[in-house]
Chain A
Amino acid sequence: MTLSDLDRLPSFALLGPGFGGDGWRLLDPLEPCGAAAARLAFAPFEAAGDRPFLFGAGRESVLSGAPDGDPWEGTPRLDPAGYREAVEVIRESIRAGDVYQVNLTVRAALPGATGPTILAALCRRWVPRFAAWVRLPDGTEFVSGSPERLFVTGGGRVFCEPMKGTAPAGEGDWLLASAKDRAELAMITDLVRNDLTPVCRPGTVEVPCARRLLDLPYAVQSVSDVVGDLLPGLSPLDVLAALHPGGSVVGAPKGAALQAIRRLEAVPRGPYCGALGVLEGDHADFALLIRTAVRGADGWWYGVGGGIVHDSDPAAEWEEVRVKAGALACGTPRSS
């Protein structure tokens, strides 16, 4: 089946190899599934994590190879209106003590793009860690090339890998030397520890590694490892409820950062920065939907953003947003 064939289906979930299958999997969200089958779970950014959309995924088929087709070749269109002001509002909130970090995002319009051409663009030079193209019965549709894992559970354990900091492949030393990236990751690591604690046995939430480099084919990212032993009787969906939306796309503290995001971002993020995962018994693997394009009423858009801290310079942050949007298909820039 080609991507164009897929585009004719009313609903489907095409998941890349990172979601735990043997290669690419095609799941049917409408098909009811038995208890033993894999289920798909999805929570848009604004949804409470304890009420994810759950989908059956009974009729599963495996694609023979990576999706092919012509990639989208346009220029992402960004509107700078209000961005600089939003960064300044956040910086003043930080100085006043009202918030510690806010992840601010904007939309880049992708004129003429379609699901198949965006997926082909995201997979042009490599298959991203959590590649997916999902079309749901309610009309929600998105394509993701996310490198970020929200969490994985299995055997009574939960493992999180919060990600902050990006550099071009081969520039890991630069990333390790960046005090700003170090601080942002430390903050999100403490936030994830906090969010995991209520669903874990006392004293079991630990940080086996506070900072390590994750080499991707096209970039290097810094991540930490946060682990814990789940309280008995909890399911992966309880973990999702505790973690969603992921700290690295919100900021800290979460409540104040979410308020700032609602106030400063013009439109809801929807699937962008949401969570998508596959549940199979007590095993679950969830991606955090960054590097994600969403089909809106006016066509496809791609979300880009970054953590705003007190050191952030509005002009430099905007340049970063421009570069990240431009890198949709051809590379990943250094983070600000």
Chain B
Amino acid sequence: MGTPPRVIFAENEDSFTWNVVECLPVPRDAVRLVRGRVLAADPAALEGFDVLVVGPGPTDPIRAGLVGLVEEAARRGLPTLGICLGHQALGLCFGARLVRVEPVHGRADPVSFGPSRWFPGQEGVHEAMRYHSLVLTDVPPPLRVVAATVDGLPMAVEHPDLPLAGLQFHPDSHGTPRGREVVRAFFDAVVGRGP
């Protein structure tokens, strides 16, 4: 890839934002950080970017104002990767439910990836750090769950046609050894694929 993809990053007042920035396969100066709520109110700011990353953060996607942002990205066909809160926003955008589960913060669990369009080559079991109290459930088509915990909680979802995908776990954590690889697989799959 010649010039790196230009990334706009919806950050949500999290203490892991910079870890996600560092986890992206682009130089730091190719990433523009914008508060998610601000970006949602001004979707024209998405113009000129190749990838939207909707980062992690507290509260839930509705209170954080992110569902409309992902809808806008989907409408534009803008490649979008949601991490944790951003992943939940993607689910809600396509009609999944978001429910409380036993909170898991700072625990790495095995997560099984199946075949995936936007995370190609990631099939198998990954060790993945989790930080969440809420989880998607009843994920309806066209979204599909492409990774899950042993007890069946969705850990990654994707759209089969639009370049949209989400990761519930933190690929950026020091406790997710292959996290960068997963994120790179997404970027390689969505960037430069043509219209």
Same complex for A and B? Answer yes
Q: Which of B111-138 contact A (CB under 8 A)?
A: 129, 131-134
Q: Which of B15-60 contact A (CB under 8 A)?
A: 15-19, 21-22, 27-28, 57-60
The dominant DSSP class at the A interface is helix
Q: Is B139 an interface residue (CB 8 A)?
A: no
Q: Is B103 an interface residue (CB 8 A)?
A: yes
Contact residues in A for B175 (Cβ distance below 8 Å): 186, 190, 210
Contact check, B19 vs A183: say whether CB atoms are below 8 A apart: no
User: B19 touches which one: A179, A194, A202 (CB < 8 A)?
Assistant: A194
- Shortest distance between the CB of B1 and any CB in chain A (Å): 17
Q: Is A254 an interface residue (CB 8 A)?
A: yes
- Shortest distance between the CB of B147 and any CB in chain A (Å): 20
Contact check, A193 vs B58: say whether CB atoms are below 8 A apart: no
Contact check, A252 vs B15: say whether CB atoms are below 8 A apart: yes
Contact check, B134 vs A97: say whether CB atoms are below 8 A apart: yes
Question: Which of A190, A202, A309 is most buried by chain B, counting CB atoms within 10 A of its CB?
Answer: A190
**Chain B residue nearest in CB terms to A193:** B19
Contact with B along A275-314 (1 / 0, CB 8 A): 0000000000000000000000000000000000110000
User: A194 touches which one: B15, B28, B107, B134 (CB < 8 A)?
Assistant: B15
Contact check, B59 vs A98: say whether CB atoms are below 8 A apart: yes
Also in contact, A183 and B105, with CB within 8 A (given A97-B59, A189-B174, A252-B15): yes
On chain A, which size bracket covers the interface? 35 or more
**Chain A residue nearest in CB terms to B108:** A186
User: A95 touches which one: B21, B103, B107, B172 (CB < 8 A)?
Assistant: B103
Contact check, B174 vs A210: say whether CB atoms are below 8 A apart: yes
Q: Is B170 an interface residue (CB 8 A)?
A: yes
- Bound complex: CA A182 to CA B102 (Å): 17
Q: Which of B96-111 contact A (CB under 8 A)?
A: 100, 102-103, 105-108
Q: Which of A172-200 contact B (CB under 8 A)?
A: 179, 182-187, 189-191, 193-195, 197-198
Contact residues in B for A254 (Cβ distance below 8 Å): 15
Q: Is A205 an interface residue (CB 8 A)?
A: yes
Also in contact, A194 and B133, with CB within 8 A (given A95-B100, A187-B106): no
Contact with A along B59-71 (1 / 0, CB 8 A): 1100000000000
* 25 A-B pairs whose Cβ atoms sit less than 8 Å apart in the complex: A95-B133, A97-B59, A97-B60, A97-B133, A98-B59, A100-B131, A101-B105, A179-B107, A182-B107, A183-B105, A186-B108, A187-B131, A189-B174, A190-B19, A190-B106, A193-B18, A195-B15, A197-B22, A207-B174, A247-B15, A252-B16, A253-B15, A253-B57, A254-B15, A309-B105
* B residues lining the A interface (CB < 8 Å): 13-19, 21-22, 27-28, 57-60, 100, 102-103, 105-108, 129, 131-134, 170, 172-175
